[in-house]
Amino acid sequence: MKMLLLQTERNLKLFLKDKANIFFSLLSPLIVLLLYVFFLGRVQTDGMIASLETLGISGGEDHVRAFADSWMLSGVLTCGCITVPLCACGQMVEDKKRGISADMLASPVPRWLPFAAYFCSVLAAGLVICLIVYAVCLVWLALAGSWCLSVADCFAILGTLLLSVFSSSTLLILIVRFFRSEGAFTGLNVILGTVIGFLVGAYMPLSMFPEAVQTITLFIPGGYSAGMFRNFFLRGSLDVISQELSPQFAEALADEYSLTLRGFGGEVTLPVMAVVLAGCTVLFAAVNVLISLKMSGKRRA
């Protein structure tokens, strides 16, 4: 156990020491934030206020802005739960390139230990940085006057964050363990960092995409994370809009901003999202364990 902790600490320190790597791990959430601040926020708020005026309702700008802020922050947190563990996986590729992985396998330690240490460091890096991002999100809502979260919502978001980081870590380390060149890993990082915001509905609601794209989201674990974050972040603001402005408008917003996922002619509700995400986590973890045992058995032979 001590060797596992020491190896995990070594991997985590190397990741945190590289400030550029940390920045790029947060690049996708930063893009979501900047797009919202300089463009999407005003467009979305104006569009929702215009919709209210067509219903004969005036005012409500503060409530609409609180909804838009909450929606944006759910996308920021979703992207962070994916891109941070991905960048943390880069230490695996770097060690392979430098021959450190081969040295560790030749040393008198259990065969499973190096990979377990990589996984623990990826998980720890994702949790630490995403928890910081979550704290920033809460501060943003408080300072902007957009706070509509209950204590239960805050803890539900925290639980979703833990599950999301665990799920993305098990999947990404499963993929990256087969990468041997930094060029290939960089390509994966660039592609995933570019498209993930679209696929999870961080840049714009999934309802605005074709049905085929919405269906693809059902095959991406991050899509279920995004759906859960949206439900918990937006629940309070939707209740306020429903009580003080219009229940019909609140219902329309919940539908347009994809609080339920659609695909194959049906809808995926919040409880189903949680079950699917947890199931994916268990599946990816089991596959990782099986591959590690198989590779360990081959080396003994």
pLDDT digits (tens, 9 = 90+) for 191-240: 888 888 888 888 888 888 888 888 888 899 999 999 999 999 999 999 99
Nearest-angstrom CA–CA distance, 281 and 285: 6
- CA atoms of 84 and 22, how far apart (whole Å): 8
pLDDT averaged over every residue in the chain: 89
Residue 11: both structure tokens together: 């991997």
Q: What is the DSSP letter of 266?
A: E
Q: Which residues fall within 8 angstroms of residue 288, CB to CB, at 6 or more apart? A: 115, 119, 170, 173, 174, 177
Check residue 226 and give its pLDDT.
Answer: 94
268-276, long-range: CB within 8 Å, 24+ apart, which pairs? 268/218, 268/224, 268/227, 270/227, 270/228, 270/231, 273/224, 273/227, 273/228, 273/231, 274/163, 274/224, 274/228, 276/221, 276/224
Q: Is 59 left (phi over 0), alpha (psi -120 to 50) or beta?
A: left
Q: Which regions of the chain are under pLDDT 70? A: 105, 296-301
pLDDT at site 27 = 85
pLDDT at 299: 53
Q: Where do the domains of the chain lie?
A: 2-300
Q: How far apart are CA 53 and CA 50, in angstroms?
A: 5
CA distances from 217 to 1, 6, 70, 119, 213 (A): 39, 38, 21, 25, 6
Tokens of 9: 């600490």
Q: What is the pLDDT of residue 121?
A: 94
Give the model's pLDDT for residue 296.
Answer: 64
Q: Which residues contact 90 (CB under 8 A, 6 or more apart)?
A: 15, 21, 176, 182, 185, 189
- Contacts of residue 48, defined as CB under 8 A and 6 or more positions apart, other chains included, come to 64, 67, 68, 253
Tokens of 35: 């797009």
pLDDT of 42 reads 86
The answer to whether residues 170 and 288 touch, using CB atoms and an 8 Å cutoff, is yes
